[in-house]
Amino acid sequence: MINWGVILSIAKTHLLTKLKQTTTAALGVTFGIGAYITLVCFMTGLNKMLDDLVLNQTPHVHVFSEIEPSQVQPVDLYAEFSNTFNVVHSIKPKLTQQRIHNARPILDQLNDDPLIRGAIPQIKAQAFYVAGTIELGGNITGIDVMEEVRLFNFKDYIVQGSAVDLENNTNGILLGSGVADKMSLKVGDRLQVRTIEGGIFPLKIVGLFQSGIADLDNIQSFVNIKTAQRILGEAENYITDINIKLFDIENAVSLAARIERQFDLKAVDIKTANAQFETGTTIRNLITYAVSITLLIVAGFGIYNILNMLIYEKMNDIAILKATGFSGKDVQLIFMSQAMIIGIVGGVLGLLLGFGLSHVIDQTAFDTEALPTVTTYPVNHNPLFYLIGITFAILSTFFAGYLPSRKAKRIDPVRIIRGQ
């Protein structure tokens, strides 16, 4: 029969009379858990931000028509040479059109696919920006503005003006901030665009964007897809790229392969394009957990130590308790409950500490060129981390308390009493 009231009251008295040691032990857990929560919230926040940085603006599958030498040469097709060894020197690719042939029906079909959240067209073109006497080379991309906003968080990178302005203005251009700086242009100014073919086209600057990658911001600008077609003097079915966003990024590889097979186009999936990216995320998570577990193990050893000392100090008490009818199990429970109280109190305080620290970090200013929309450090407040934290605290104190308390259970009262 276990009388919890008595056991807990003894545990409580032990803890309160040794308040200093109790506090030290609990603080060990508090700092361990607090550091874990702070670290994991901050790290996963950072991970998520970096993921978003790449994943949100990168299409899961990028479809385009690439100029490349044919894999199969006419000589290979000729039956008479099928058993011979053919050498063809100096193979050159054939000049094909840059546009995706039959782009509209392909787009319609892709948009009907249940795996695909959205497939949107783009037109990529080289051009010169002309303002006064200055002429700069650059890239102009024609986009379906509102779809880009919906699927690729395009809005986040517009630092002046808005996406709607670009959508509504067929003579508007969203200029890279680097280009604007170099040419001393601001929103509302006019600028001319000269295509490679030589056509000159006046446009009005409706906004500036900043992707965070200087090389890109120095050359890139966006226009409405119709504007791009007009600048290039092409028809409405002229589309050079299709960007696809999926519901589940895991399907990217298989879908890319399917598109290549089905439409005879080049399709690059995000996993191939950003293979190093996932490795980074995994390693950052690994570091976070390694550091947190180390902290908790240190805290666990602190508790182990303090309980061990406590049990040596309380040898006489243990002998008395046993002599007056407390069983070994009762004594073990007394010391286990002390460990658990330290663990739970320390753990809960640790959660509060972590909560406080992660919110302080969340409020800390974080100014970075790379991310114009991010003003404070990214923190991921996930309740799951708090659950893991408290579970960890309870588990580690359980093990730290288990060994010393088992020793207390086994103490032979006769030896202690005789030993006096």
Partner 1 sequence: METVLQAKHIDKYFEKPVRFHVLKDISFSIQKGEFVSIMGKSGCGKSTLLYILSTMDTAYKGELYLNNELVTGQAHERLSHVRNRDIGFVFQFHYLLSEFSVLENVMLPAKKLGKKSFEEIEADAMEKLRLLEIDQLAKKRASRISGGEKQRVAIARALINDPAILMGDEPTGNLDSYNADNVFQIFKQLSDEQGLSLLIVTHDMDFAEQTDRIIQMSDGRIVV
Say whether 64 sits in a helix, a strand or coil: strand
Beta strand residue intervals within 69-108, DSSP E: none
Say whether 51 sits in a helix, a strand or coil: helix
Amino acid in position 299 = A
CA distance 211 to 221: 11
Q: Give the shortest CB-410-to-partner 1 separation in angstroms.
A: 11
Instruction: Determine if 420 is a binding residue for partner 1 (CB under 8 A).
Output: yes
Instruction: Determine if 328 is a binding residue for partner 1 (CB under 8 A).
Output: yes
Instruction: Determine if 60 is a binding residue for partner 1 (CB under 8 A).
Output: no
Instruction: Determine if 414 is a binding residue for partner 1 (CB under 8 A).
Output: yes
Q: Give the shortest CB-18-to-partner 1 separation in angstroms.
A: 9
Tokens coding 94 = 């054939």
Interface residue with partner 1 among 75, 134, 196, 323 (CB under 8 A) is 323
Interface residue with partner 1 among 327, 364, 375, 391 (CB under 8 A) is 327
Show the DSSP H helices in 135-203 as ranges: 145-152, 163-168, 177-182
Beta strand residue intervals within 112-246, DSSP E: 116-131, 134-143, 158-160, 172-176, 190-195, 200-209, 220-224, 241-246
Q: Give the shortest CB-411-to-partner 1 separation in angstroms.
A: 11
Instruction: Determine if 333 is a binding residue for partner 1 (CB under 8 A).
Output: no
Residue of 89, 73, 123 lying closest to 228 (CA atoms) = 123
Q: Give the shortest CB-3-to-partner 1 separation in angstroms.
A: 5
Residue closer to partner 1 by CB (options 360, 414) is 414
Q: Give the shortest CB-397-to-partner 1 separation in angstroms.
A: 22
CA distance 168 to 153: 18
Say whether 403 sits in a helix, a strand or coil: helix
Q: Give the shortest CB-339-to-partner 1 separation in angstroms.
A: 18
Within 14-43, which residues bind partner 1 (CB under 8 A)?
Answer: 14, 17
Tokens coding 333 = 């429970």
Q: Work out the angle between the directed axes of helices 4-17 and 19-57 (0-180°, nearest 10).
A: 90
Instruction: Determine if 330 is a binding residue for partner 1 (CB under 8 A).
Output: yes
Instruction: Determine if 8 is a binding residue for partner 1 (CB under 8 A).
Output: no
Within 394-413, which residues bind partner 1 (CB under 8 A)?
Answer: 413
Q: Tell me the number of residues near partner 1 by CB under 8 A.
A: 28
Instruction: Determine if 1 is a binding residue for partner 1 (CB under 8 A).
Output: yes
Say whether 30 sits in a helix, a strand or coil: helix
Within 214-273, which residues bind partner 1 (CB under 8 A)?
Answer: none
Residue closer to partner 1 by CB (options 25, 29) is 25
Tokens coding 359 = 């919110």
Q: How many residues does the chain have?
A: 420
Q: Give the shortest CB-46-to-partner 1 separation in angstroms.
A: 48
Query: Residues interacting with partner 1, by CB under 8 A?
Result: 1, 3, 5-6, 9-10, 13-14, 17, 316-317, 319-330, 413-414, 417-418, 420
